[in-house]
Structure 1
């Protein structure tokens, strides 16, 4: 099998990473999984305490991709119409004009999404699944490409609302953003001491290195990535075991298997391959399924994490040769 053309996918993501690294220190996994989500055509959920450069990453990504970007700061009093938009009566035309909400963009940052009630969170469901928004019975198409990156605070934080299962299941990947290493934090202080400003991307020389058409072509290449029948069966076994494991109250839906397939194909293309290998599936299992399983309450109270259970499942399933 021939590898994917380097200048089509691999070179593209490498150019984007170079721009992102001008403002993001370390965080290799975060950068990789963000770009894999982009290649997959999915949406990304980032969880971590405030101040870990999640917003900066999204702003820099929008600049590197040369696409329109909007941010919604989620608060307890936010309403669904504040996200999607509404129709306003025009006295001159004697008709209703559509005032589009911030969801009408290419890259949407839903910041602190779990600080708003479920009613408002649910306003994103149609946009995430169908790339459309319905306002007063009229359906409107969202711009293409369309991607949402949401950030959420850990649920232990005061004033947070757990995301409904129907909404969280629509995120292709969930990434836990942790504190930087000692070396990385030293580098961050050095950059700020030398005049770095996270609000001025021009000063950081973050350039546009691709176009919406490049993104579309890269996604088409991802769709062409080959997946052996044995590897598809391997994915099904992983997802099925989440429904049978003694530690899991609710296992992954079939959408989790589809997400694992799509993200594994994107992972292969990301590395310049036109075929998936078992390591791609292993790498993508935890970020793809960690938010799609619910552990039994007693185990959660004991501090058991979804990542531990998924790692155990992976260790017990024979890997195809």
Structure 2
């Protein structure tokens, strides 16, 4: 694709010197993209580690909350268990005292009937003592395994801190992704964006010409014409990306959407990214912004495409064909797949 030099760029330089400078600039930009991708990979590893810690803390907190819920641990329940434990310990002491008294009485009893009665009472007292000992042990274990609200609070704070760190890393990593997206688009612009329609491949040029005839079409007429184009030119829109006013950035979910659309297309398909602008504001500014948007999409598609696929971007027009009332709807780029 051909692209005119910016006004004043290369003034006073020989063609060889200008070519050398542009090559150096391109290499510098490519190196910067590579370094930023390496940094992003490192930050992704850090984010993965933080997310793992967050998930571990989250599981611990869930388990603690489940134990807290199953044991009905609250101030009243803890107090009740403590009181039950104290009462049971008191009964255990009484049972032990009774058993000791019965042993003394048994040792000094001369009559066989009295001894038999005392032995029966002693057996019952010992059984009661054993039961109380078992209850004490069970309550001690239950209280030992309880999770107090202070422990849950500590885990909650740990979880919040881990989540905050992960969110912060994700925000920073997303910023890096957008920076890389912008730099890669700048690096790809001379290869992917076409200034003159005659520089497009024949099939893409034919599509461009057909689309340029549809400026006055209504949305319903557009649908009919797009179906005709699909039949005659084997071309169809596989994705449509709208943009915020003044922005050429593609949201990360849209990047994934473009990747899926490209990967699911034909192995030798050609993609033409067609940029439009709304009719509000300055035409030259809108044209430049639309070109940036189309180039960014083409750069994303080019990075994700299959080896046999091709892609280029072009600006078509300022338009209201998609909506005469909602101007933002016309701030859009279409990705057309041309099938061979």
TM-score tier (shorter): under 0.3
Q: Which has the higher helix share?
A: 2
The normalised TM-score by structure 2 is 0.22
Question: Which of 1 and 2 has greater Rg?
Answer: 2
Q: Which has the higher strand share?
A: 1
